Structure 1
Amino acid sequence: MDQNLNTSSMRDHEVNLFSGAFSTSCERVPNSNEVENSQELVSYFEDVCFIAISGKRKSGKDYFANLLRKEIMNRLGKTAAIIHISEPIKRAFAEEQNLDLEKLMSSSEYKEKFRRTMVHWGEVERRKDPTVFCRKSLEYLMQDSPFKPIYLIIADCRRPSDLTFFSSFNREIPLLHLRISASPTTRRSRGWIFFRGIDDAETECALDDAPFDILVINESERTLKLSMNMVIRAISGKPLRRIMTL
């Protein structure tokens, strides 16, 4: 992804990277039965550290998720993996519609062509079972990954129920919710165009007012580096410094 970003819209504004109250994004679920997890999933993931990423289209969620995985492995020497809640949606949708799954998983025009239909299809399935795709994403990881990660990054959380689901596993270490932010100008430079029925739908807006732990500003290399340092400090358990001006 092109990271020659427009910083003019953000440079003169004060931005607080740290939301203030760590782990306010997801209260610890007192009873795992409140979320329909299979016992196998609970047992496997109960000691995994979950990191949830949310943000608008073209804000750079996948880009940051990949950077974060590399930082965790290189700087902290820990294992990390990335999952997408959208992957089981796209797998099933691609099979049903006879589409190219690899292209559907990418940030391509091919995916955008089918996005509206796929979103509607996913919503119908989700109404039958609100956590079906969250569970499937974990099941795919168990099936496909050669190792059990210490840190698991969910690159595309879209609803409060997603955060609640993933926060229900590890009772010792709360889920860390990262909100990726980029200005409309920057997002447009990455190919974003507003589409009614997509950008104003629940899949894009349900977490707009949700509390988060750290705000990641993906406007320039500088803001991204500052944000990444904040995230690594949080993951490492070090005190977080309040950064007011980017």
Structure 2
Amino acid sequence: MAPLGGAPRLVLLFSGKRKSGKDFVTEALQSRLGADVCAVLRLSGPLKEQYAQIVEGISQPIWLVSDTRRVSDIQWFREAYGAVTQTVRVVALEQSRQQRGWVFTPGVDDAESECGLDNFGDFDWVIENHGVEQRLEEQLENLIEFIRSRL
């Protein structure tokens, strides 16, 4: 199934544990790059029909998929968009996640939707979001520089 909408110049697939800061990072990137350049997309499930609906009518050249959860998600985007697809893992220490309100929940934190990419290991980017603002800022600047080079 061919995706609908304009072909993106860059698709960044963000993944990470609950309260690691995926939404925070994608929103920070969008606010700096501009909503006219950068679309934030959220996956609601693993079905390819949903992927096709998600990409329909998106005009921005940069797509940030904020909640990639499974290897099959990455595979689908790589098959659909090839070399413009990049994976970004947002990591945070358990202590940092707890400070943001995370509490281990059986059936959620040990489910495939939360652990499906734990052993993926081959991420193009890793963003450390342990609560050190300066370190996060440096990493965001590197990623923004890369994104701008693709525009």
User: What is the TM-score with the length of structure 1 in the denominator?
Assistant: 0.55
Query: Which whole-Å deviations, capped at 9, do the CAs of 1:16-63 have from their partners, x for residues lacking one?
Result: xxxxxxxxxxxxxxxxxxxxx2x4x25x34344211100000001111
If asked which structure has higher relative contact order (CA below 8 Å, sep 6+), I would say: 1
Query: Where in structure 1 do 4 or more consecutive aligned residues deviate above 6 Å?
Result: none
Which structure shows the bigger proportion of residues in strand conformation?
Answer: 2
Counterpart contact for 2:9–2:84, Cα < 8 Å: no
Question: Deviation digits for residues 122-143 of structure 1, max 9, x if unmatched?
Answer: xxxx5xxx4233233224xx2x
Q: In 2, distance between residues paired with 1:47 and 1:62?
A: 20
User: How large is the Cα RMSD of the aligned pairs?
Assistant: 2.2
Match of 1:216 among 117, 120, 127: 127
Distance 1:45 1:181 in 2: 31
Counterparts of 2:48 and 2:117, CA distance in 1: 16
1:177-207 deviation digits (Å, cap 9, x = unpaired) = 1100110000001110001111011000111
Among the aligned pairs, what percent are the same residue? 28
Q: Residue 138 of structure 2 aligns with which residue?
A: 226
Q: Secondary structure at the match of 1:228?
A: helix
Instruction: Kindly provide the amino acid, as one letter, of the partner of residue 179 in structure 1.
Output: R
Q: How big is each residue's C-alpha offset from its partner over 1:155-187, in whole Å with a ceiling of 9 and x where there is no partner?
A: 00001111111223334x431111001100000
Which stretch shifts more, 201-210 or 217-226?
217-226
Q: Distance in 1 between matches of 2:129 and 2:30?
A: 16
Q: Give the SS at the match of 1:50.
A: strand
Whole-Å separation in 2 of the counterparts to 1:204 and 1:67: 23
Q: Tell me, what secondary structure is at the counterpart of 2:142?
A: helix
Moved more, 190-199 or 223-232: 223-232
Question: 1:177: which partner in 2?
Answer: 87
| Displacement of 1:230 | 1.7
Between structures 1 and 2, the one with greater helix share: 1
Q: CA deviation at 1:70?
A: 1.7
The equivalent of 1:152 in structure 2 is: 63
Paired residues, what number?
148
User: 2:8, 2:63 within 8 Å by CA — same for their partners in 1?
Assistant: no
Q: What SS is found at the alignment partner of 1:197? A: coil
Q: Give the structure-2-normalised TM-score.
A: 0.86
In structure 2, runs of 5+ residues without a counterpart are none
